[in-house]
Amino acid sequence: MQVADNTVVQFNYTLKNEDGDTLDTNVDNAPLAYLHGHNGMLEGIEKAMTGKEAGETFSITLTPEEGYGERKEDMIQRVPVKHLHGAKKWKAGMMATVHTEQGERQVVLAKVGKFMADVDMNHPLAGLTLNFDLEVVSVREATEEELSHGHAHGEGGHQH
């Protein structure tokens, strides 16, 4: 079966930066799963996956625009330290989670004081060219429940 809209795709990936340094991988863990054609994956990965079959391996490069966008300098915000989640002591460069009107958001601490912190709301991979090595593990038709929920269920997908 080929990857197409309304299929569930399980895949492995290794993400590298422009220098070839590995930034992230799931190769030693369970494959990720997503519902193809439902905006649950980076658009560039979905485009590259279309038409592929289980067992195929390939590499793609995504520009910042195709990945997590360009870095925006106006995305630094000052928040009370008490709103940071993920650690007890904070210092610049650490990642934290904050609750926003759009839900939880991962941020990087730019500057930390006793009561306030400057947080970078850009995605940590914003502004980077991303190189993915991808392996399609399996492709199957989505269930009616997955289609109604808009995401894949089961291993590597959403667990209810």
Query: Model confidence over 36-91: pLDDT tens digits?
Result: 999 999 999 999 999 999 999 999 999 999 999 999 989 999 999 999 999 989 99
Laid out side by side, the sheet with 116-120 consists of 76-80, 116-120, 103-112, 95-100
Distance of CA 62 to the CA centre of its chain: 13
Residue position matching structure tokens 């839900």: 103
Which token pair is 157? 């997908």
Global pTM value: 0.81
